Structures are given as C-alpha cells and as structure tokens.
Structure 1
C-alpha cells in the first residue's frame, strides 16, 4: 500500500515508543544520508591503533612516562639539520614540553614528517613513545595510526621501505587478529594510513645509514608521514655527506634541567622517605652544572637513579660524594651497575605483590644478563629469542659430539629392539634390521629435505597447523613444486613408487604440520615454545607411522607380515628420534642444558626472562625480548668480559685522572666467514652419501639419473662458495701499549713492535690472494722497509696487512684514542666521509 505523497517502493516503519518521530530524507535543500558502514580497512586501522596503544602504554608505565609524576622530555627545533622551511611547510620553532602542542604542530605539517634527535640516553625514544600515545589519544577515525618499529631490523639494500613496513607491522602487532591480515596491512601501507615511527637510525651500520635515508626519500611520496629518531652526531654525519630527510622538521631532545630533575625525584620518591633525597636535591639546586646534574640530565639516568635507590635501605646521598663519583661518567657507570642489585633483591618477596620477582640473587642475575647481553652483541642484534640461544658458542661446539653420541645410542637401541622382537629367528632379525634402517634413512632424508625447504625461515619456531581450519599450513610454491615433481621423476627413473614416496612424504608431512611463521612476534615466548613442542609431537605422530609403513611395504613381499610389523615398530622408533633431533625444540633443549649446566643461564630460562621484564631490565615485543635501553645492554656486555669491540683498560677503570698504560680490545680478526664453512657442506653431502648407499645396494650406478642426483648434491656447496666473498674471522684480543701492538687468537699469537710499523689506517678489506674488495672495513698495518717481520707476514697487493675487523661501522672512539696515543704519527684517522 502506498500512502498519499509517498513514493512507490518507499516504506516508513517505526516500532517502539517515542515522543516525536520524524522520518525524512530530503527537506528542501537539506539531504540526509546514512552513516557509511565501517570498511575492513577501517576495522584494521582501529584494531591496529588499539594494539599499539596497549603495548606502548604499558611500556610508558615501565619507563616512568605515565602518571601524574611523569617526566616531560623537552625539545627544541633544529633547522640546521632540517629541510628548507618552505619544503617543510610549517614551523616548530622554540622550545616546548607540551605533547599536545607537539602533536598538533606535527599534524599541521603538510607532509607530517619529523626527525627526533638527541644524545645517548637523552630521551629520543621516550619522546617518540609519548608522541605516539598522544597521537593515538587524539586520533580521529580517518587519521593514520602511528606504529613504532626498530630501524635495526631494516636492510635498505634488500627491501623497499614499504615492504619492510608492512612486514614488520604484521610481525609486531598483527598477532591472531582477524582484522589485521596480510592484505589489510598492505592496504594500510599503500593508502598511507600509517605513521611509521622508525626508532634508531644510528643503530644501522655506518654505510647503511645513507642507503636507509635514500630509501626513505624514495618511498616518501606526497602525503607519506614519518617520524624518525637518531643520535644527533650520526644523523648530522649522514645529512652532511648525503641528503636530508625531505620535507621533514627536526627537533632535538633537550637535557633535563637540574630543577626539573630535582622535582621529578621529589615527586616519585616515597613520601615517608623523601628526606633521604635532600642531599641530592640540594646538590642539584646548588650546582646545576655539576657532575651530578650533568649525569641526571638524561631521562635514562633519572630512571636508573630512582629505580636503584627506591629501596628502603638504599642511600642516594652517596651520589654527592665527589671522592666516589668525581665525574658524570663515573656516576653513569655506577647507576647502570646498580640497577641489577636494586631490582633483583635477595630474600622473600612481599606477600602483597601479586606477581613478585623471584629471588634469583643479584650476582647470578648480573652474570646471566651479562651473558645474554654479550650474546646479542656478538650477533649484532637487540632481539633475544629462546630459539636462537643454540647459536651461542658452547651449544655450537657441542652439536657435533651430541649428534655422534646420539647416533650410536640410537643404533644400539634399534639393535636391541630388533633382537627382542625377532628372538632367535636370524632371517626375521635381518629383514627387520634392513627395513628399520630403510625407515631411518627415509626419516633422515625427509627431515633434511624439510630443513632445506626452511633455510629461508632461519631458526624461527613452528606453530601447529590446523589442516582444515583457518590457519592452514602454507608451504611455499617452489617447495611444493619440488615435493610434487620429485616423486614423479624418481618413479619414472627407477619405477619404484614406494621409494619415491618414502623419500618425499616425511619431509612434506613435517612441513604441513608446522611451518615456521613469518615472524616470532605473533605470540609470547611461552606460546611459541608450546607451539614448537606441539608441532614436534604432531610431526612424530604423523611421520613415524608413515615412514614405518612405507618401509614395511618393501619388506612384506619378501619376509612376510611379522617382519613388516617389526619394521613398523623399530623403524618408527628410529624415525621418531630423527624428527626429534632435527626439530628446533631439540636445539633449544641442547642450549638450555649446556648453558644452564655451566652457570651461564638459569634452568628456568623463560621464567627468569619474564622476571627481568617485570623488573624493568627487559621489555617484551611479541615473542622476543630486548634490553630496555641500548646503553644497559652495552654496559652489561662490557662487564661480562666478552663484548665485541669493547675496550677495557688494564689499569683500574675507576681512575679516570690517569691514562692507562695499556688497553685491551675484544673483537675479531678478519671478516665474517662466508666461504668454506663445514656447515655449508654437511647437508648436501649427506644427501649425496645417502643416495650413494641406496644406489650401491640396488646396483643402480648404470642409470643416468643416479649420477645426476649425486653430482648435483656434491657440486651445490661448491657453487654456493664461489658466489660468496672469500672472508673469514676469528675471535681475538688486541693489546696496545707504548712498545708494541699484539693480537691473540685461540690458535695464533701475533706481535709487532711499533718500530716495525710504518702506518696504521682503516681500509676496505682486500684478500691477500686478490679478488674483489669487501664492503666491510678493517684496521690495516703497513710495515716499515727495515722490518724483519715482512718475510712471515702475508700482505695484500697494496702492501697492507689486515689485522682487526671493524665490520661496517666507524672506528670505536676508544680504539681511535688508543691508536692516537700509542701509534702516534703512524696512525692515519679515517676521513670524515669514511674514505
């Protein structure tokens, strides 16, 4: 029914109670339209904003950046390192500490690009975190979402910025959210609905910083926002030598004034114990430029001071004792060293704490954290994942002996099980032994094929796939093609479908039940460990029976059903051991036993890491941990005695008024080994050996396919070595004094008096036997013409002898200072442009 004045097909319906009801669409020139529904991209942006806010809100609380007594990081505009004012299109002049004003000024910039600079511990990251939270707090529905990411995870030489941004957002923040799938995140990046907050440009190697800045400028099209943090000196260097970040304003985090530091300490101290801080507050007021005020001008040091002296028995008044702490550097070292005893206390915890930090003891906690810091420094990373601990030195050394011992134990166990099953029947014992050995080889081959397929995934833990659920296993296209073609080729060449099935099915099952994720950040560390354990168990349950059944299919026509059943039993047990040995879980267990057994880590590693996070030493980002501050990691690594490129004076470190008479440096001779590594040959040559055994037992050397298969696996590592740079490095110690320079490795001792050295310089690595130069740099010596050491030293074509690796970074200041002192005029400092 159409009412008078109503268009046909239009129905006005109301149900309920109301005083007035007005139903209209067009009233004169006023048109009413319904609110458009939320798109999938809008949901993804909203969910991402929620996740980012939750994660960094907690981090701000741990840093003391939230609450009524939060520390405000002041800033000042720096147009000397910014783009032209007309290109920036806005003004950030002046000094400020209001986040609302900074967020509004940032949004008012036409391109919304900002660089935050500052010295070590000056509060760059803190300011970026607070600005991110303020942008999220005042964000409108259509405004972009700020996401904080570490610059150290980006290699601009291999990955476009947009590709890296989408990958890292998915890894850091997506989790199991349905709204944040791969496609939606790519759309958010494409449509410029993200504000990348890239933290730590200075943490990239020196030659890479310029490429990163170039990559950013290439990716920053019109309307692309960005916030970048860096140390001032490193950013000034790359801007001077290359280019500015286009259309970006620059601000510098300012030191905390003494009055602000005093007020912050007063506001955050215990009300009944605030009197203990009076000597410190008085010193800050009376000497605003003194050593204590200079040290506490860093937000990091302020946080350390109130954390280290927050206990009832702590006495902050000792900080004003100039006999103990004569300069800011001594105060900073003391505060860094005092953090661990302050947060890892002895004795029972308070019963009022819902999740107290356990009584690990400060000495053990320092030793364990020092080992972890040195381990991360050695790997050139800040991210600690439990699945990478097997890369530590001790587990790496133990891998081969453990495998050998395990192999003999496995052979003994299989022989014992075969004898028990076959009893006194020698023929059955023989056939069961042959079948179980074949099953073991199938399992080994499948496991190694899976390892080859996962080379691009590194050591990432796996998560069990639901074969019929939403999170199905994703086998890469090339890998799937290999698994499909390999059985067909082997069937055509050998006419043995069971053999083809036995060599490919185990590896395929291993991949199907648990492919590593694209990142280890989608879940917490314990969830990742449980996922790896579940994947391993699921692999055992699927692979072992399948391998045993395939091997039994070979034996049954020859030896009958009893031998086939024995093959399933014994061969399945052997395959189970192989699946376990080749899993990341086994490498984790080896690392845990080796490191905990020698006191380098506790037995409850994950529990300790969680307590360190709760205590404020570490922070958790998904499945990995990071030291809360890079300086804390560097200090712990240095005190552990095995930190790379760390200088340790032979004399006491607490005597700054005296120059040390000698200095030691821990690092490497040579470059990163890329050629001739045994691990590059073990896997393919193991394949070749297995094929040789199979072909020999079947007298199949006359077939062309046999030669091709064996030859391929033999030649493969040789080809890979040819395309890799000829580099090698060994851990070493370099000792400098006024008489000589000495380098010591585990196998070699080298010493030259300064009288035999004509020049010391930093140069690109050039192999002594020729070949292309490397992009990595080394400290080189040129011998004097009268040196008698020339006959035993192998120099390169330019007459230089490389002795010390500098990687891709600059010369450490400690090393440059020591060379200037001890080498004198022989030392040629690198040019400012790095050449």
Structure 2
C-alpha cells in the first residue's frame, strides 16, 4: 500500500470514529445511556483502530540502504545456486577465464585485461560501469562457428555475486539484478527493473520504487543475442530496440551503469547497423587454453587411476607441452584442442564420455579429426546426463527415461524456437528461452484454453449468484441481491481483467516475529479493512432508511459495518497471506503450488464468512450452499493454477502431467537451469539442437 493509501485509511478511520463515537454519545446525552447503539460503538472501536494504524503506517518510511542490503543478500543466495548449476554442482571446477577489454566512448578503466577472479575489481574500476561481455570467435577448423559457450553467463554471474556480496557487507555499490533479455516486455529499463523486483525478487512496490529512484540497482541483461532469430539483428530488431533503451538509460546527466552479455557475431551486426550500446567497455573472453582444458578434465573425470587411464590419450592431446606422447602431435589432436576450447564444450565432453556411459574417451580424437564431434556431443548429451552419476555436490537424480526426456524437451525446445520469430499472445511477446509453468499455455490451442478458463470463471460466479438468490428470504431479496450482485460483479470483473495472463498468488505470510513483518501486516490491515467496513455501514444505513431493516439508521449502519468488518478482516487476512515476503522464487515450480494453496485458503475463508453471514437470514442448508459456491468462485476463478490445469489437459500424452517435477529432475541432471521464476535449457545450443535436429 502506498503513502496515499495509508493516509486514506487514516482519514476514513477518523470519519468512522466520528460517526461511531460522537453521534452515539450525543444521542446518549439527549436520550440517556440506555439507548446507546452497540452497533455504533462496535464501528467506533474499529474506526479507532483503523485510524491509529493508518496514522502509524502513513509515517512509515523505508530506508534505501536497508532495502538494498536485504536485496543484495537475496541475490547472493539465489545466484550462487545458479553459478553452481552452470558448473554441474562442482564449484571447484570453474575455469579461470582470461579476458581483454576495449573502452569505447567515454568509458575509462584502470586495466584492459584480467581474469574471471578479477572481474569484480575490473568492473569497479570502470567509469561509468557499462560493460558488454562477449566471447572470442572459434578459430577455423573447430567444427563450429561463433563464440557460443565461451562463459558469458558464467562471467556475468561471477560479477553479480561479487557486487552483491560487497553491497551486503555495506559497501556503496549498486545491487546487481540479472535480467533475461528475452523477458524484456518492451518499454524502459526502469519499468522492466520495477516488474522484476516485484515479481521475481518479491520487493514491495514502494521499495522497488525507492531503489530505482535512488538508482541503487544495476541491470545485468543476459543473452541479448537470443532476442532475434538469426545471427545478424538489424536496426529494426528487438535487440536494436533494447540497445536504444540502454542508451537512454541515464544516471543524472551521464549514462547509467549496465551490464550486457551477447555473442560476438550478433553484437558486431548491431555495430555494423549503427545500433549498438554506446559508451561501453567491450569485454572479450578468451578461448580456453589447452592447459586449462586439461586441468578441467583432470579434476572432473580423471581424478582416479581408472579415470586417468581412460582419459590419458585426451589429456596428452590437449596439452602437448605436458606430455611427450606421440598422440599430441597427431592432426586429430590439434583438431581436439580447437574443438574443446570453451567451458560448455568441455562440459559436454565430460558428460557424454562419463564412465557410466561406457564410451571410450579416445573416441573424442577420432570424431574431432573427422569434424563430427560437436554434433555427436549434443546428440548424446541428454541420455548421458540422465545416465551419468551426479557430480560432486549434486543431488541424487530420480530415474528419468532418456527417450521420454528427449521427447518432452524437444516439444518445449520447438515451442521456444517458434517464439524466436516474435510470436505474441494477448499483447505479450512470448519468450524464446524461459519456461515459466503458468505462461506455457500458448504452447497449444491458446485461444481455446483461455476461452475455457473464462467460461469456467463465469460458471463459478453464476453458481454463486444462484446460491445467493436461493438462500435469501423473499421480502428483502431484491436489496440483498443487489448488494451481493455488486460484490460478485467485482470478483468476476477482476477475474476477467486478470484473465489474459494470470499471475500466481501463493501464500507467503510475513514473519510476525520481525518489526518489518508486523509493519507489513499493519499496512495491509489499514489499507483493506476500512473499505468493506465503510461500504457495509453505508449499505446498512441505506437499507434501514428504506424501511428494509427493523432497526434505526444508526443501528443499521452499525450492523452493516459489522458485516463489512467481517469481510474486511477476511480480505485483509488473504492479502497478508499473499503479500511479498522478500523470499525470491528459487524453485520455478513453487508459485503454482502456492497459487493452488492460496486459492483454497482464500476460498475457504471467504466461503466460511459468507455462509455465517447468510445464516442470519437463511436456513443452514442454503447458507452452506452459498458459502461453498462463493468459496469456489473466489478460490478457483481466474487463478493461474486453473489456467495451468486446463493447459495440462490439452497436452496429455505430449508432456508429463507432473511437468514441474519432471523439469526439476531435468535441472538436477544438468539439462536445465533456473533463471528467477523460469527454467531454461542448460545452454542455448542444446535448445537449438533439439528444436531442429532429428532424434538419434
């Protein structure tokens, strides 16, 4: 709730206090205390509480340093996990990549070269802190082109973790927030950051605005090359549009700090089209040296006597200076050194030729020599990752069927590949890299799925309407029906409004043992309770004035206010259970589970309250039916979980029913990675291979 909302709650509370205390006291002085309306006093006490809470929360101010430090701690926790995923769970196996930097525009830096372990100090020495991370294209004869798998995301993660740790320790640096380029909705960098802070990092809207106004957030945009199909994005591409926003992104009168990652070929195309990011330090990651490749494999797969014996021909070929073997001078050894000169390809080789697969590592030399190695590694990566024993630090992986895994991942890869052409649905560009469960429904029959979801919401609300009408006595039915109809209309319109892209609303009750948790609950109470209470009081007074209640106007206001208070407390509790808790989503499957639980709890609370209220004017059976119908309408109508369930019914046979569990196991096997609320393929090359290549 914003400042104006808190001030409004204080004002309305004061009005309720005035009407509920002053008027009854005046009546008591004139007619005697025996005629004091208890309903009015009840509303008065509620008004007093709302006024006090509203006045207190209206003075609430967030400290930007405190909010930034909390966000930084969350970033460290989440991105350290992502960093470990990229390394297959073995953080000791990281390759200390080297890089060179070219300064363009007005960027100044202390050094022009460095290594991965120095990337944080290198960045902090830049003025302004604007960086594009690219790779070095593969040399001729490597069997592949470009700089795919050079370690751009790994470098960005190392920078993010280092800067976030510095901010968490109190140093005056911006908090880095990693953004997936394909999730850019269009518009400004500030709006994109605000949405990401609220949805992925669970910041309250006021806190996100505070961080952005103080310019304490560093956007780290990963995968600019994935915005458009092909290798040459031109002036009319999404990448060019994003670069224009990056150039408009300012800190005062100077270009604002920003970090980008992009493949070298695509970024050169933007430069040739005169649409690159301006005033940047262009960081170019070097290829992995043979000595680094040998050290990686020695640690990863040749750390035992049996493993070393099997991998010895490969180790000799990779580093001829460390071995006098004749293998090192063969032509295929030279080809192997060119083919395994990125972290991603080394990971492919170590996985596909893991001892559990039964393949002989010496085959790498043969395939490197005839130019088939890279495609061979991509083709067999899935079955090898599923079969191989988890690496150090990795969780045990439940059984996955290699053929079924390939089939399901191929469906998802082809969907993402089709989105790369710029597909849109309900005004939103579909991501070409992110697998967000509640956003997968456009994969098949998008219009039919959305229509069925809307129809279900309408049916649920119509069922509640019928139950309301049947539960009411005949005399005051028109008045009660108009009131309940208005309430249902609000719910129905809300469901329809959110129906284009439902967002999960999981249960996340703030910790009441903390000052922040108590303040958050107080804000929700102050911002939610007064509305239904005031509406109920006005409605009760209106019905009493029309003679449809046996009590006076003031008593009618008191009784109506009591009913409104009950609903207000229920809505406030639902809001408290659904509020941000500053716990970022690290499991992409958790929001939907939380949305289901949240819907059931909200429906149960609302339905119980409705049933109890209607028991005052209806028989028990009718009140029970009314409570059930209203609870189902609120709990299931327009929910992200409902849309996702309809989607699963449409893809039975193509995708597993327990899709979240399947994707989680693929992540544990090293086939997928997480990026905020989404799963992504471990590497773009794997996704593109599955999208276009026939099965083995």
Give the TM-score range, shorter chain: 0.5 to 0.7
Query: Matched residues in 1 for 2:82 and 2:121: separation?
Result: 23
Does the 8 Å CA contact 1:460/1:517 hold for their aligned counterparts? no
Q: Which segments of 5 or more consecutive residues in structure 1 lack a partner in the other structure? A: 1-38, 640-651, 655-835
> Displacement of 1:449 after TM fit?
2.0
The match for 1:122 is 150
Mapped pair 1:265 → 2:297: yes
Mapped pair 1:211 → 2:230: no
Does the 8 Å CA contact 1:276/1:315 hold for their aligned counterparts? yes
Query: Matched residues in 2 for 1:570 and 1:115: separation?
Result: 61
Cα distance 1:455–1:278, how it changes in 2: closer, same or farther (>3 A)? same
Does the 8 Å CA contact 1:88/1:109 hold for their aligned counterparts? yes
The match for 2:424 is none
The match for 1:90 is 109
Query: Matched residues in 2 for 1:476 and 1:617: separation?
Result: 47
Cα distance 1:512–1:391, how it changes in 2: closer, same or farther (>3 A)? farther
> Displacement of 1:394 after TM fit?
5.8
Mapped pair 1:537 → 2:600: yes
Q: What is the TM-score of this pair, normalised by structure 1?
A: 0.56
Mapped pair 1:309 → 2:349: no
Query: Matched residues in 1 for 2:548 and 2:446: separation?
Result: 40
Bigger Cα Rg: 1
Does the 8 Å CA contact 2:461/2:488 hold for their aligned counterparts? no
The match for 2:409 is 369
Cα distance 1:565–1:74, how it changes in 2: closer, same or farther (>3 A)? same
The match for 2:679 is 625
More moved, 508-517 vs 291-300: 508-517
Q: May I ask how many residue pairs the two structures share in their alignment?
A: 565
> Displacement of 1:273 after TM fit?
1.0
Residue 158 of structure 1 aligns to a residue whose secondary structure is coil
Cα distance 1:526–1:248, how it changes in 2: closer, same or farther (>3 A)? closer
Does the 8 Å CA contact 1:387/1:587 hold for their aligned counterparts? yes
What aligned pairs does 1:234-633 form with structure 2 within 5 A after superposition? Answer: 234-242=266-274, 244-270=276-302, 271=304, 272-284=306-318, 285-286=328-329, 287=331, 291-312=335-356, 313-322=358-367, 326-327=370-371, 330-345=372-387, 355-377=395-417, 378=419, 379-393=430-444, 397=448, 445-454=489-498, 458-463=502-507, 470-472=519-521, 513=574, 521-522=584-585, 524-525=587-588, 527-545=590-608, 564-582=619-637, 583-595=639-651, 598-633=652-687
Cα distance 1:526–1:68, how it changes in 2: closer, same or farther (>3 A)? closer
Q: Which segments of 5 or more consecutive residues in structure 2 lack a partner in the other structure? A: 1-61, 136-146, 319-327, 420-429, 550-559
Cα distance 1:114–1:622, how it changes in 2: closer, same or farther (>3 A)? closer
Structure of higher RCO (CA pairs closer than 8 Å, 6+ residues apart): 2
Query: Matched residues in 1 for 2:112 and 2:457: separation?
Result: 68
* RMSD after superposition: 5.2
Query: Matched residues in 1 for 2:459 and 2:308: separation?
Result: 66
The match for 1:59 is 82
Residue 266 of structure 1 aligns to a residue whose secondary structure is helix
The match for 2:56 is none
> Displacement of 1:549 after TM fit?
6.9
More moved, 447-456 vs 507-516: 507-516
Residue 450 of structure 1 aligns to a residue whose secondary structure is helix
Does the 8 Å CA contact 1:521/1:624 hold for their aligned counterparts? no
Does the 8 Å CA contact 2:293/2:346 hold for their aligned counterparts? yes
What aligned pairs does 1:60-79 form with structure 2 within 5 A after superposition? Answer: 60-64=83-87, 67-77=91-101, 79=102
Higher strand share goes to which structure? Answer: 1
Query: Matched residues in 1 for 2:490 and 2:382: separation?
Result: 47
Does the 8 Å CA contact 1:125/1:199 hold for their aligned counterparts? yes
> Displacement of 1:530 after TM fit?
4.2
Cα distance 1:299–1:577, how it changes in 2: closer, same or farther (>3 A)? same
Does the 8 Å CA contact 1:439/1:574 hold for their aligned counterparts? no
Does the 8 Å CA contact 2:435/2:678 hold for their aligned counterparts? yes
Query: Matched residues in 1 for 2:494 and 2:312: separation?
Result: 65
Residue 344 of structure 1 aligns to a residue whose secondary structure is helix
Query: Matched residues in 1 for 2:407 and 2:154: separation?
Result: 28
Residue 321 of structure 1 aligns to a residue whose secondary structure is helix
